[in-house]
Amino acid sequence: MRIALNEARCSGCRTCQVICSLHNYTENNPKKAAVKIIGHFPSPGRYEIKICDQCGVCAAVCPAEAIGEEDGIYIIDKEKCTGCGECVEACPSGAMLQHPAEKAPIKCVACGQCAELCQRGAIYDADTREVQ
């Protein structure tokens, strides 16, 4: 699973956020999603998708060494995380998201649920699908 983006195809429906929170937090709550959609309206009229590209900067800056890597995917150990927010500040993609009820930031683990339900191919798995 290699999450890739084609932002021009995004219609802003936020289904990705709903399934992300359901799958990773067992909650129906898009504010607990590791993907964020930002609309740029009224001009120029497009959507921006914020999601982790697994660059690893978060792991490098984490003072608690709470972020580990496995097969190219960086995962937060919620037990170790102190909620200091260093990674949120450092993330070059602005993709470490926060929720008031969660100490640890919310980060994409490349489960691929969002890509599965993105009919538009705005978020897709670059391992299995060509850009739409």
Residue closer to another protein by CB (options 42, 63) is 42
Q: Is 38 in the site for another protein (CB under 8 A)?
A: yes
Number of amino acids touching another protein (CB under 8 A): 35
**How many alpha carbons fall within 13 Å on the CB side of residue 114?**
32
Q: Is 82 in the site for another protein (CB under 8 A)?
A: no
Nearest partner of 48 among 19, 21, 11, judged by Cα: 11
From residue 86, give the alpha-carbon distance in Å to each of 8, 59, 89. Answer: 31, 10, 5
From CA 88, how far away is CA 120, in angstroms rounded?
29
Q: Is 43 in the site for another protein (CB under 8 A)?
A: yes
Binding region for another protein (CB under 8 A) out of 42-50, 56-64, 76-84, 88-96: 42-50
Positions in the binding site for another protein (CB under 8 A): 8, 11-15, 18-19, 21-23, 26-32, 36, 38-39, 41-47, 99-101, 116-117, 119-120
